[in-house]
Amino acid sequence: MIEFQAVTKRFDDGTVAVDDLNLSVDPGRITVFVGPSGCGKTTSLRMVNRMIDATSGTITVDGNDIRQSDPPLLRRGIGYVIQQAGLFPHRTVVDNVATVPMLAGWPRHKAKKRAVELLETVGLPAELGEKYPAQLSGGQQQRVGVARALAVDPPVLLMDEPFSAVDPVVREGLQDELLRLQDELGKTIVFVTHDIDEAIKLGDKVAVFRTGGVLAQYDKPSELLARPADNFVASFVGRDRGYRALGFLPASGLPIGELATVELGATAVDARSALRDGWAVVVDGARCPIGWVSEKHLATVDGEISRDSSLSGGSLYDVDNGSLRSALDAALSSPSALGVAVDSTGAVVGSVTADDVLSALAAARTAGEVPQ
């Protein structure tokens, strides 16, 4: 869908931002550009919609040389999402999203109808449509930015560090939302970030750039972690890349052990009788985990077990979609050393241990599922 052929960008002061870039972006996939500041990743992105013109080389979109396209017309057919969403502060949310369709000649009523539909698509309630950007949270503004970029259903979506300005919890939610949307819409997405964890989570393929605009490695995340091309890539990916690589190993077949549970509202006496090896998970009426209680902790509880009186419980392992990494993280982050395993509804189904995860990893190595 997008091809960079010997593309170089040299600015007037002689600075080379991108140096002889050759890269093919797979259609219908997320390709992530990642690297340190000044490595040319954002410049490479902006050359696709001609916000910056290449000094030499050729960029094609769907086989067409972008130099033959009128820049404003080209940009209307390519979605673009930036930091801070870039919304018009004097326009309502609906009018912000409807901007591009109206520029493309859509009737106002059709453009606004499309805008309302897209708010739902990106997980925002329709009633937010009449609010102004300043009345929204940072995460909501970014969702509006994504909706606006999707307004005329472009085949290509460019995203320039769109989630870097929000807090980590909101950022993780936006990442998950993007993956959900991509599974539904199948766009060709080029995503720029400086965060290698974000790149590995989102990218079907990841392009690592080094300072000077040189492409250091372009590969699937699992290969990037297992076989970094050189010391620069190994250093940028991080010393804990072996742990990250566990995220690409399915945990199917991982044994699920028993786990003691206590319902919210139980008395401390009842909770004490339910403990197993000194611990139990507090669950709500749908058996979703709330936290932990222990023998020592129960001695300080007066009355019924509540959300506030239970201990923080760490991460969860989804038995339907989880990886060895998520299973190991659940076990390591748990105060009891038992990771909480849940089903697709979030209900507790049992426990996992770090020892069982490491045994599963050893079995995967023996079976040749882990690169040596």
pLDDT digits (tens, 9 = 90+) for 46-99: 999 999 999 999 999 999 999 999 998 898 889 999 877 788 899 999 999 999
Task: Quote the CATH superfamily of domain 2-238.
Answer: P-loop containing nucleotide triphosphate hydrolases (3.40.50.300)
SS3 48: helix
What's the sign of the alpha-carbon dihedral 288, 289, 295, 299?
A: negative
164 neighbors 172 (Cβ within 8 angstroms): no
- In this structure, how many other beta carbons lie within 10 angstroms of the beta carbon of residue 264? 16
Q: Would the CATH topology of 2-238 be identical to that of 261-363?
A: no
pLDDT tens digits, one per residue of 306-355: 887 778 878 999 998 888 999 999 999 999 999 999 998 999 999 999 99
pLDDT tens digits, one per residue of 258-313: 999 999 888 888 888 889 888 999 999 999 999 998 888 887 777 788 887 778 87
What is the pTM assigned to this prediction? 0.80
pLDDT tens digits, one per residue of 119-167: 988 889 988 999 999 999 988 999 999 999 999 899 999 999 998 878 8
Euclidean distance between the first and the last CA atom of the chain, given in angstroms as a whole number: 33
Q: What is the pLDDT of residue 368?
A: 63
Distance CA 227, CA 220 (A): 10
CATH of 261-363 given 3.40.50.10190, 3.30.450.20, 2.160.20.10, 3.10.580.10: 3.10.580.10
Alpha-carbon distance values, 123 to 126, 142, 315, 326 (Å):
9, 11, 24, 25
Query: For residue 116, which of 106, 108, 126 has the smallest C-alpha distance?
Result: 126
pLDDT tens digits, one per residue of 79-93: 999 877 788 899 999
Q: What is the pLDDT of residue 178?
A: 92
Could you tell me the residue ranges of all domains in the chain?
Answer: 2-238, 261-363
Q: What is the pLDDT of residue 210?
A: 94
Distance CA 302, CA 295 (A): 13
Q: What is the pLDDT of residue 222?
A: 87
Whether the predicted pLDDT of 370 surpasses 60: no
Alpha-carbon distance values, 251 to 220, 324, 328, 331 (Å):
20, 5, 10, 13
- Mean of the per-residue pLDDT values of the chain: 90
Over the range 64-91, which residues count as b (16 or more CB within 10 Å of their CB) and which as e? Answer: eebeeeeeeebbbbbbbbbbebbbeeee
